[in-house]
Amino acid sequence: MAVLQVEKYGSPILRKIAKPVTDFSDLDLLVNNLSETMIEQEGIGLSANQIGVDKAVFVIFLGHIDESSEEQVKMYVNPKIIDKNGLCEFEEGCLSIPDIRATITRAEEIYVEYETIDKIKYKEHLTGLLARVFQHEYDHLNGKYFTDYLSTTKRSILKKRFVEITKNGKPSKSVTL
């Protein structure tokens, strides 16, 4: 297991649609690396493409969502959102876009499908923060950033910060929109 470098805004892999997992034989190491990196970076979720791996996999740190959860980190392989209901606003940030936060509107509840490392398929109904984090990480697997949901005006405000992240790995100052 290892803590790996998180890809930053501007990295081409973050705009690619992740490849579905067909070979499950090496997922243990990937999931462990994702989990360690996410926890070390103090994230709540992390997708495989954020560590440079082109696979449709992400992990969510349930300990940040529900402290009573027996399962600390949950992994999702080949996830899909099959239905959405309601809308809610919440401030988001991202390990790939450090020091930038913005209020984003997402579905309040979602119905999802995914596989586990053992190739078992599940369907779940997610609400609240877990639904939000799932949508955020799912977007990563589809080549989207949370900032893509901002208005053109707000994105133009962040343009200088995006250039700084691409060049230096972080902006010169924090921004919250």
Residues recognised as catalytic:
137
Of 92, 133, 98, residue with least CA distance to 10: 98
Q: Which pair of structure tokens corresponds to residue 173?
A: 């100052």
Classify strands 97-115 and 57-61 as parallel, antiparallel or unpaired.
unpaired
- Backbone φ and ψ for 78, nearest 5 degrees, come out as 50, 50
Which ranges of the chain would DSSP assign to H, the alpha helix?
27-40, 128-141, 152-168
Contact 34, 58 (CB under 8 A): yes
Residue type, 76: Y
3-state secondary structure (DSSP) of residue 89: strand
3-state secondary structure (DSSP) of residue 27: helix
